Copies of this chain bind each other. A is one copy, B any other.
Amino acid sequence: MPQFAPLKNDTFLRALLRQPTEYTPVWLMRQAGRYLPEYRATRAKGGSFMGLATNPDLATEVTLQPIERYPLDAAILFSDILTIPDAMGLGLHFVENEGPKFERPLKTEADVLALRAPEAGSLDYVFKAVTQIRTELNGRVPLIGFSGSPWTLACYMVEGQGSREFHTIKKMLYGRPDLMHRILSINAQSVADYLNAQIDAGAQAVMVFDSWGGALADGAFQEFSLQYMQKVVSLLKREKDGVKIPAIVFTKGGGHWAEEIAAIGADAIGLDWTANLSKIRALVGDKVALQGNLDPAILFASPEQIRAEVVKVLNAYGKHDTGHVFNLGHGISQFTPPESVATMVDAVHAHSRTLRSA
């Protein structure tokens, strides 16, 4: 196990653990990405998205790009949420303008019965990248590891690709709940093992992305997504070398389930822009920190408008001196002007300091 440099800026970790901070920390989902010209330059030499994600040198390079450019309070591993099903042998590939697809989705009962956790070593490229990124961050900011949620992974594994309606997996869910639970059990254990290995490799916080939990009916969400995220959280290492490792769960479109999500044992819940931080804070009390929730579309507006909307989000959260990590409510768009991010980050830091001194 390598020795890492001491952390200089732990604001993000303290906010997640509901310890006082001098200002509200901020990072962006998909902050290492196509909106940055330096990312596009690395892509040009590294080839495909997975070409970068599977090459620890290139993954390190792009993970650090937004940290070099903006005073962000956390870095996040450059990777894909679908590395686990790929390592299960489903054959991940990316089709231009269509998003990720699997060559061998789970179509039949036999496919489901044959499903196994990833083989040992098959995800080592991820853990190697984590260690290298943490080393090169050199203590500037904490490094976040992540995974897709058991349900969200299952959506891609059964549908074979993204979907708007999720008819294929919902047909399985309602028609063969036994098969659905089998997949989700394997996924939950695999996600926990994967996140724990990222923690061993150097991740200082972990996040579970439940991108498609919001497509489920009330009742089905609790049974087929939330239950398995709770399983993952219960299996996570929450401390490493005496330092706490906070866990964040984020169900896109799940704000109306915030109380239930806040109860599964994670340190923080992510929220999209449809949620009202003030109402959610009142509902969940001090149980968890909140992460979010600016509409990424605001980054297409003028600097004045961006600042005004940042102030609205911070004011909605209110005058607490901890428990809020500023973020977008979803990944940043590839068409975002990079200057907008600078405006947003500065506005978060400045206004949250003002709120604390008021």
Binding site for B on A (CB under 8 A): 165-167, 170-171, 174-175, 214, 216-221, 253, 255-256, 273-276, 294-298, 300-302, 305, 309, 312, 316, 329, 333, 335
- Asked if B301 and A171 make an inter-chain contact with CB atoms under 8 angstroms apart, the answer reads yes
What residues on B are CB-neighbors of A256 within 8 Å?
255-256, 274-275
What residues on B are CB-neighbors of A166 within 8 Å?
297
- Asked if B175 and A297 make an inter-chain contact with CB atoms under 8 angstroms apart, the answer reads no
- Asked if B273 and A218 make an inter-chain contact with CB atoms under 8 angstroms apart, the answer reads yes
- Asked if A297 and B253 make an inter-chain contact with CB atoms under 8 angstroms apart, the answer reads no
Expressed in whole angstroms, the Cα–Cα distance for A305 and B335 within the complex equals 44
Given A167-B333, A256-B255, check contact A174 B274 (CB 8 Å).
no
Expressed in whole angstroms, the Cα–Cα distance for A112 and B170 within the complex equals 42
- Asked if A312 and B219 make an inter-chain contact with CB atoms under 8 angstroms apart, the answer reads yes
What residues on B are CB-neighbors of A297 within 8 Å?
165-167, 170-171, 174
List 5 A-B residue pairs with CB atoms under 8 Å apart, sorted by A's residue number: A167-B297, A167-B335, A174-B305, A216-B274, A217-B273
Which of A170, A171, A174, A219 has the largest count of B CB atoms less than 10 A from its CB? A174
What residues on B are CB-neighbors of A220 within 8 Å?
295
Which chain B residue shows the least CB distance to A170? Answer: B297
Contact among B170, B174, B295 with A170 in the assembled complex (CB-CB below 8 Å): B295
Known: A217-B273, A217-B329, A218-B316. 9 other contacts (CB 8 A): A165-B297, A166-B297, A174-B305, A218-B273, A218-B276, A219-B276, A219-B316, A221-B274, A253-B274
